[in-house]
Structure 1
Amino acid sequence: MKIGARFRSILALAASPAIAAGAGGAPPAPHPAPMSAAVSRIELEHSDVPGTDMETRIYLITFAPGTAAPLHHHPVEGIGYIVEGRARSAFGTAAPVTLVAGQGFRDQAMTAHTVFANADARKPLKFLVAYTVRKGTPVMEVP
């Protein structure tokens, strides 16, 4: 798979301890769900979609060892990439799958994200995820 220079730069930043700790990153986009101290969410980049009220955002998200997201859904489809660690993920009634570093994934739109967790009790999970949404719209909603 070919990876563009800009994406390689973002991956390099994702591996940087300063970015992982939150230093120098752009302020996070609005988020309706409370974020646990065990989860770090940094908006790395956003770009307007010309001629629309939409924007694309890419986030670096870190889950501390053993951390799980609450039941939630995404208003739009997202695409992601596991940078470091292992994640367990399931939508709707599907069985959870394990995703590992170097693997891509897709967040389903408007489907209950019933499981999303760091599958490792000792190491952090770091992943990139991008969404194209209406400006100011959250990318995750908790019932």
Structure 2
Amino acid sequence: MQIQPLSALLLLCCSAAVLAEDKVAPAPPPIVEQVMLKELPDYPGKEVLMLTVEYPPGGADPVHRHDAHGFIYVLEGSVVMGVAGGKEVKLTPGQSFHEGPEDLHTVGRNASKEKPAKFLVFLLKDIGKPPVIPVN
């Protein structure tokens, strides 16, 4: 099942990232699909959202937050991830990355301009909170 509102939000954010003075085209947006959404009765008010995210060649995310604990696990290709105040890391299949509820996700992109990259995202979040919060 594809998450249309999430994909649309990411596309809107990517489009807004165009630098007017340079007329730079936005990076291709990611393709996001929901794997599971499950409330956690043992943790009142919390739910887990699992997604797959595929970056097309040259694809990237805009700067954003999750207001959740986010764990990613790379399935295919390689991605570059980073949060404000941290180092950018290049991840390949089998490697993982974490970002906390207060982290600003400043870098999320495909490391390749020729091949797609795909990863699994596991978000532990408050019920009903949006999975992605754009940052201007």
Do structure 1's residue 125 and structure 2's residue 117 form an aligned pair?
yes
CA distance, structure 2, for counterparts of residue 100 and residue 82 of structure 1: 6
Equivalence for 2:88:
96
Q: Which of the residues 84, 108, 111 maps onto 1:116?
A: 108
- SS at 1:70 equivalent: coil
Pick from 36, 41, 51 the counterpart of residue 50 of structure 1. 41
Larger deviation: 36-45 or 78-87? 36-45
* Root-mean-square deviation (Å): 2.1
Percent sequence identity is 27
Point out the structure with the larger strand share. Answer: 2
SS of aligned partner of 2:75: strand
- Is the CA contact 1:68–1:117 (under 8 Å) kept in the aligned structure 2? yes
In 1: Cα distance, 2:103 partner to 2:122 partner: 17
The equivalent residue for 2:9 is: 34
Aligned to 2:133: 141
- In the alignment, residue 48 of structure 1 is paired with which amino acid? E
Q: TM-score scaled to structure 2, two decimals? A: 0.77
The answer on whether the counterparts of 1:80 and 1:129 sit within 8 Å (CA) in structure 2 is yes
SS in 1 for 2:122: strand
